[in-house]
Structure 1
């Protein structure tokens, strides 16, 4: 089975090897990376990995700031995607935690009944008080999240999707594939428990349903662990970088607080820790890879130091350190109920 992961990156150098190694452990066979405007050795590390046949690396084709969507449009034309049995569109801070069989993507597909698409629900993992960036696997460092069924005040939580080659695809979206149901009928499409996705989600009944559906009981076979914050150091660098959809997007106090709920301990992804670290070691053993990884780590720390030389970033760090442990919506409810 050929499984191609498609992702867009900018200044993710210290985290690339862990993500690539993890995807290989769960069964991804091919990679298509798009990068833009990298200053932390991300692009050079990807080029070197491409030299070793590990992945395909292309410059992001975007002609405006909509980097991800233009890249996904281009991905549909690339041979590494066209030859795939399944396509997995995800970001470098997202890890597919599979709970069934041998914990690989083929096991997940089998458990879901081999549908044409599988949309797996996010679980946002908190910073949990980790301030300093450490060159160590993210999945080991961050093990606490929100209640899996409720994120902030939402019971419908975002997903990312695996897409089979025969899905009646119009285009890939960042969260789900899009199709014309009037022309092709309803595809076989499940959640992470093998249940049909809600019709309102499948049909894009409204904007809110485009990329989310109720999370309750949706993760029996798989969870999508999303490490959007990581360490405080890395969050500051992320804020400077922006994201793949909007250049210079501000990851403010609200973004942090919404994703920093650490009330639930979920270490289940550590089942992958040993094979992950073995695969990372194998990648680092390839000529030139360890040196470029170490350079990316050093540049990440240097960027943090440069940012913290600015008053605005010192203020941001202090603001986040002092931020309420509750999401804004929960804080508002607590005040309404006069809970102290």
Structure 2
């Protein structure tokens, strides 16, 4: 790769995702992300220490995103990323969260193969596919892609979140990052964006000014989708509830969010196309004794937090509701 070739760069705000970090990093490396920038805030489970160890080894860039101000960690992270000037004008940038795994379905299943499949593209929106809980109650230190293999149908019109998307774009086109798509274009028209969906079809004109989700005339999964593991096991969901949503200060989670995101209608194992590469990166990282120690520490702290939460009456009621919800769906 020459110095002028575009690189693929991700930026991620993160808090208390320790048990899931190594798989996520291994997956991102397997799909060809050249540089991950991860910004942590208010971690109590060792996520920040584990990421710093990976930074020390040159695997990613970890940034302390803590602040005494009561402000959005996500907005702070995006501003810091732009000030760092990691991305050159021709580089591809994508905002991706810790529960999102990009699933490329073309070529060698890398982001480079994706952009080569749509050679005119300067932007590509990748639609979520919601992966449900699949009735998994207990937390296990195993790949999410092995445990959660049932998802929403491709054609699902409700809830709106089912077709939320993330957008990869060339840095020179936009001035500001957003959760789902960039903002403040540096160009004047939609035509200059060369903006395509996950099937390689041009996005409608209206997306130039707004919208965070696909619609019937813009959805496409043929070349790429994002596997969105928003729930995981019932036990891990208890921890997520106490942490709150990543981009919403103080917002509590309960059965409303669970029911909205818990879709298990169809099995989808397409992400296994990069499984062998992901395993190689995963065990390569674990071969470092300090990385292994920190990973297992985060898993142990996760288990301890689960045990504490399961003693609380409110959480016991939530566990009962979650398990009953899956049992009822199986009978339906």
Give the structure-2-normalised TM-score: 0.91
C-alpha displacement of 1:323: 2.6
1:100 aligned residue: 106
- Distance in 1, matches of 2:194 and 2:134, equals 38
2:3 aligned residue: none
- Distance in 2, matches of 1:210 and 1:88, equals 14
Contact 1:253 1:323 in 2 (8 A): no
- Distance in 2, matches of 1:58 and 1:84, equals 23
2:207 aligned residue: 201
1:274 aligned to which of 273, 276, 298: 276
2:63 aligned to which of 47, 58, 61: 58
- Distance in 2, matches of 1:202 and 1:115, equals 15
- Distance in 1, matches of 2:290 and 2:156, equals 44
Q: Deviations over 1:134-177 (max 9, x none)?
A: 1011011111111112053559711001111322x120101001
Other structure's SS at 1:323 match: helix
1:322 aligned residue: 324
Contact 2:197 2:218 in 1 (8 A): no
1:185 matched to 2:189? The reply is yes
- Distance in 2, matches of 1:9 and 1:144, equals 25
2:172 aligned to which of 143, 166, 181: 166
The Cα RMSD (Å) is 2.1
1:35 aligned to which of 25, 40, 55: 40
- Mapping of 1:36-185 within 5 angstroms? 36-60=41-65, 63-82=69-88, 85-154=91-160, 157-167=163-173, 169-180=174-185, 184-185=188-189
C-alpha displacement of 1:273: 1.6
Other structure's SS at 1:314 match: helix
C-alpha displacement of 1:215: 7.3
Count of residue pairs brought into register by the alignment? 322
Q: Deviations over 1:87-132 (max 9, x none)?
A: 1210011011111111100011111224221110000001010011
Contact 1:121 1:215 in 2 (8 A): no
Deviates more, 1:194-203 or 1:148-157: 148-157
1:240 aligned residue: 242
Describe the shift of the 1:34–1:55 C-alpha distance in structure 2 as closer, same or farther (beyond 3 A): same
Contact 1:149 1:216 in 2 (8 A): no
C-alpha displacement of 1:244: 2.0
- Distance in 2, matches of 1:196 and 1:46, equals 37
1:229 aligned residue: 231
Give structure 2 stretches of 5+ with no counterpart.
Answer: 1-5
